[in-house]
A and B are shown apart, each in its own frame.
Chain A
Amino acid sequence: MTEKTILYRGAEAEICLTDYMKYKVVQKRRVKKTYRIKDIDDRLISTRTKEETKLISEARKQGVSVPIVYDVDLKNGIITMEYIEGKRIKDIFNYLNNKERIDICKKIGENIAKLHNNDIIHGDITTSNMILAKGRIHFIDFGLGEKNNEIETKGVDLHVLMEAIDSTHSKYSDYFNYVLEGYKKELKENASLVIKKIEEIVKRGRYR
């Protein structure tokens, strides 16, 4: 058996680093939950694994950088994918120079628009779920994602990022506007509808 290093342990899955053929890969393994009956556990693990894989490959088709999926094990809930060696946006965002930061924000916005143009909702857009590698921003973890064409859902998707920038990069909370600038440029629908929705969501006072 090849060696496994656990990179992260979440409520639903663990992420580990391992080998696959001759590649260095990441495996997302959904954890079996002992509190629910097997019928439910099996169904959730396999449908969620399938959904996530589908979203990753659809995102790729739209020209958004995501890890390449090498293998999917629906029964055990394991996605084996490319290991992206780079830096998390979360870790570098505060240390970039201004021009770079603006540039990254615009690119993030453009990428989100590409997803939304095809009704792909990421579900958890935060700077910890983006990796800068070889000059490109890679989006990871589509575990909370879905296909949805509603303005509301797209607004919520962007609002998550707004909150993330607010809390993790509070000094640069205005930079969300550059994200919107990139988003507007790339979105096929009328972006002002989505942006209006974000304002509405903020007024509702919930946190996601």
Chain B
Amino acid sequence: MICLGIEGTAHSIGVGIIKNNRRKCIVLSNIIKIYRPKQGGIHPREAANHHAIHLADLIRESINVAGLNFNKIDLISFSQGPGLGPCLRTAATAARALSLSLKKPIMGVNHCVAHLEIGRGTIDECKDPVLLYTSGANTQVIAFAEGKYRVFGETLDIGIGNCLDKFGRKVGLEFPCGPKIEKLAEKGNQYLELPYSIKGMDIAFSGLLTASEHYYQKNKRLEDICFSIQETTFAALTEVTERAMAHTDKDEVLLGGGVASNKRLQNMVHKMAEDRGASFFVPSKDLCIDNGAMIAWLGLLMYNNGIRLKVEESYIDQRFRTDMVDVSWRD
């Protein structure tokens, strides 16, 4: 079975085509285009306009890269939520149009669950992981328990990526700030004390953000501030992930989301896993960031499990929570 997936929850618009080989996912194409605001943060309407302008070309390109014709597509999948309304609507509209014109079924999927399933789908040994999902808007620790993907810990205020971007903007870095902060942090060596905020398995970043900005105003070395931000936030993320692993008694950890490509975060979580005798997995970068292939893969899993969606019921849901999905495709 071949599925085309459209991702459009925030900055990125992506179209991916995948097929399944039994329970594994083979990515045939995965094209992504990222909206970069000229200044400030993301403006939902402008991001949606960006997506609308590029979407048709992306669909064509992903068909070409996959070396297919449209009639080979069996299923259309799209990101139903959570995300920014205008962006979600743009992706959903394109999916409906494709579904109706190609006369192929449509499937709406949860974006966060897709981040987890693509890891299980593309990495052989990854079977029942705890996912540390870190992106701009989302920061969640997710694991499968009693028929659902449950959120065992999450941010109480802003996502980690958002925290990095906000700090970066303040000090004049360009979006996306994460990679630039990572570079600067490599040259940092003095740790500046920052709030480390964990409540149970939840986590908060806004206090740390303010404190980091204060250090900048006091002319502390930017490299040292970046180093301290990374060390503190990533340690806290690693700690809540470890707690979730102990709590759920799982011995695999998977990274997902844009921030997962940060080498220092990978290194910390990897070390934690090693110390626990657990396995560590991280998908390739284009499958970590928001992408269409993961949307396609989850759509296919759901469809093959007998789940159906009518076009007239294919509403988007901006507040689509991870634990609202009945995960019937797993035993």
- A123 on the interface (CB 8 Å rule)? yes
Partner among A36, A144, A207 whose Cβ is within 8 Å of the Cβ of B150: A207
- The CA-CA distance from A44 to B242 in the complex, in Å, is 16
CB atoms of A11 and B243 under 8 A apart: yes
Which residue from chain A places its CB closest to the CB of B275 in the assembled complex? A34
Chain B residues near A39: list those with CB within 8 A: 191, 193, 231
- A40 on the interface (CB 8 Å rule)? yes
Chain B residues near A208: list those with CB within 8 A: 200-201
Decide if the interface of chain B is mainly helix, strand, loop or mixed: helix
Partner among A34, A44, A146 whose Cβ is within 8 Å of the Cβ of B271: A34
Closest chain-A Cβ to B6's Cβ sits at a distance in Å of: 28
- A43 on the interface (CB 8 Å rule)? yes
- Category for how many chain A residues contact B: 20 to 34
Q: A11-B246, A207-B150 are in contact. Are A37 and B231 (CB under 8 A)?
A: yes
- The CA-CA distance from A124 to B246 in the complex, in Å, is 15
CB atoms of B191 and A40 under 8 A apart: yes
Chain A residues near B201: list those with CB within 8 A: 208
How many Cβ-Cβ contacts under 8 Å join chain A to chain B?
A: 54
CB atoms of A36 and B235 under 8 A apart: yes
- B238 on the interface (CB 8 Å rule)? yes
- A35 on the interface (CB 8 Å rule)? yes
Q: A39-B191, A144-B200 are in contact. Are A12 and B243 (CB under 8 A)?
A: yes
Chain A residues near B242: list those with CB within 8 A: 11
Chain A residues near B275: list those with CB within 8 A: 33-35
Chain B residues near A12: list those with CB within 8 A: 239, 243
Which residue from chain B places its CB closest to the CB of A44 in the assembled complex? B196
CB atoms of A40 and B271 under 8 A apart: no
- B102 on the interface (CB 8 Å rule)? no
CB atoms of B246 and A10 under 8 A apart: yes
- The CA-CA distance from A120 to B272 in the complex, in Å, is 31
Closest chain-A Cβ to B152's Cβ sits at a distance in Å of: 8
CB atoms of B271 and A35 under 8 A apart: yes
- A63 on the interface (CB 8 Å rule)? no
Chain B residues near A22: list those with CB within 8 A: none
- The CA-CA distance from A83 to B211 in the complex, in Å, is 42
Ordered by A's residue number, 9 sampled pairs between the chains whose C-beta atoms are within 8 Å are: A11-B239, A11-B245, A34-B271, A37-B191, A39-B231, A40-B196, A40-B232, A124-B200, A205-B323
**Cβ-closest 3 pairs across A and B:** A11-B246, A36-B235, A35-B271
